[in-house]
């Protein structure tokens, strides 16, 4: 998955036009991609728009909820579970 593509879409969704938060947003995006691939066993396809949009939505939620203790929203939980199931489950 291309970190730059995901980061640009996250910034668009948040309405951020400056580059001031690029390092922070890039770190969140990299963390999301690493979590999905290494911890959840999801094989992300850079050409699959649903994979791209899930990474964007998940990274956006991470950015917006950085100071809250709330759990992952249900729509993201369902989509993550579907990605995991579609990929045959997490690695052992």
Residue 6 has pLDDT above 90, yes or no: yes
How many CB atoms are closer than 10 A to CB 3?
A: 16
Are the C-beta atoms of 90 and 84 separated by less than 8 Å?
A: yes
Residue 90 has pLDDT above 90, yes or no: no
Residue showing tokens 């050409």: 47
d(CA 84, CA 28) in angstroms, rounded, equals 20
For the segment 2-27, the average pLDDT, to the nearest whole number, is: 96
Query: For 32-73, how does the pLDDT look when each residue is reduced to its tens digit (9 = 90+)?
Result: 999 999 999 999 999 999 999 999 999 999 999 987 787 899
d(CA 41, CA 64) in angstroms, rounded, equals 25
How many CB atoms are closer than 10 A to CB 37?
A: 15
Query: For 21-39, how does the pLDDT look when each residue is reduced to its tens digit (9 = 90+)?
Result: 999 999 999 999 999 999 9
């Amino acid at each position: 998955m291309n970190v730059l593509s995901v980061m640009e879409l996250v910034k668009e969704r948040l309405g951020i036009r400056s580059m001031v938060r690029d390092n922070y947003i890039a770190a969140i995006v990299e963390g999301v991609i690493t979590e999905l691939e290494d911890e959840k066993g999801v094989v992300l396809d850079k050409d699959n728009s649903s994979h791209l949009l899930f990474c964007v939505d998940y990274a956006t939620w991470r950015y917006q909820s950085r100071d809250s203790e709330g759990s992952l929203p249900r729509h993201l939980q369902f989509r993550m579970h579907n990605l995991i199931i579609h990929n045959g489950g997490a690695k052992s």
